[in-house]
Amino acid sequence: MSFNVSIQPNDINFITTADATLLDSALAAKINLPHGCKNGGCGACKCKLTSGSVTHQEYAPSALSPQELADNTILLCKASATSDVVLDIPGFANGFPIKTLPSKIESIEKIGSVAILKLKLPANQSFEFFAGQYIDLSHAGKNRSYSLANSPSATGVIELHIRYRQGGVFSEALWNEFKAGQILRFKGPLGSFTLQDSAAPILMVCTGTGFAPLKSILEYMLATNSKRKVHLIWGNFQPEDFYLTELLPLWQQQLDLSVTLCSNENTPADYYHGLVTEYIAQNYPDLSQYQVYACGNPGMIESLYNSAISELNLVKTNFFSDVFTPSA
């Protein structure tokens, strides 16, 4: 059975079915609704259900509280319609069209356990995206989601950061099979982890290759001569896990940017020894005037969200996240 979905105040409509989530139906209709992890973990796809009814699949309790559910807030990635529905998504703009395109591997640079993959786009096709968005890359009949790591102003080539995972279908192929010139197909742009229009100071918090979308946002801020104050807090298990750190002092010359690198093992004197969440708790007792952009493993993001809201005075609507979950 099919149902109509109406998005207010934009007056955008699409069709869904009882066995599909609202988010999947929207993306199939090339409507890029706000979302992040797509698995009910981050809460980025929350919106108001103003009429109609839905059922929810299982989701993380931190993504949607019982009070929010009682107030008719839903998760687009886990909600399926049981009638025609109307959604209220303030500030939503459909953004750039979602496309499926071929690309050619331009280069693969391996830095420790991370590969910097650059893909050349077709000369006769335009591909526009917002800094912080991601694409779905296809290989061997499977799709994997990777954040775009370059600024939207860099035309013709897109950059992805991919950490090696033993047995991972895509990372094994990247390390052992892929060559320059090989064709890969992708779909995008996807996601809503993007820089918000504000003058508020920013905490950018990431672990591992969660650095990729923040790199995109920082390079966009460089290209647009942003004057916003930013503190990048990047955590890895050990110093050897960091990569492209040579970019950080160059960015600091042009942006109002401070940087803290955190590691748990063999920590250099100029790094913070411990977790990114511990550093923030010790150094930012009041986040009421800040926006927080967090990207990385689900445990870090959930811990940061809970502590920032309950202990550090962060306004809920000023927390933006993109959850990275390892894929086989």
SS3 content of the chain, % helix, strand, coil (to 5): 20, 35, 45
Domain coordinates in residue numbering, the chain? 2-88, 99-190, 202-323
Give the separation between CA 137 and CA 145, rounded to whole angstroms. Answer: 6
Q: What class has domain 99-190?
A: mainly beta
| pLDDT value of position 190 | 86
Instruction: List CB contacts of 37: < 8 A, sequence separation 6 or more.
Output: 44, 77, 298, 322, 323, 325
CA 44 to chain centroid, in Å, comes to 9
**202-323 maps to CATH 3.40.50.1820:** no
Q: What is the mean pLDDT of residues 317-326?
A: 77
Q: Which residue has the tokens 């839905």?
A: 54
Q: Are 228 and 199 in contact (CB under 8 A)?
A: yes
Confidence class for position 90, pLDDT limits 50, 70, 90: low
Q: What is the mean pLDDT of residues 289-315?
A: 94
Q: What is the mean pLDDT of residues 51-76?
A: 91
**With pLDDT > 70 as the criterion, what percentage of the chain qualifies?**
97
Least confident piece of the model among 81-85, 108-112, 165-169, 216-220 = 165-169
pTM of the model: 0.84
Confidence class for position 233, pLDDT limits 50, 70, 90: very high
Give the separation between CA 62 and CA 302, rounded to whole angstroms. Answer: 7
Identify which has the larger pLDDT, 10 or 120.
120
pLDDT surpassing 90 at residue 41: no
| pLDDT value of position 262 | 98
Instruction: List CB contacts of 245: < 8 A, sequence separation 6 or more.
Output: 261
The CATH topology of domain 2-88 is Ubiquitin-like (UB roll) (3.10.20)
Q: What is the mean pLDDT of residues 80-85?
A: 96
Q: CA 35, 90, 299, 210: dihedral to nearest 10 degrees?
A: 60
| pLDDT value of position 11 | 79
Phi, psi angles (nearest 5°) of residue 29:
-90, 10
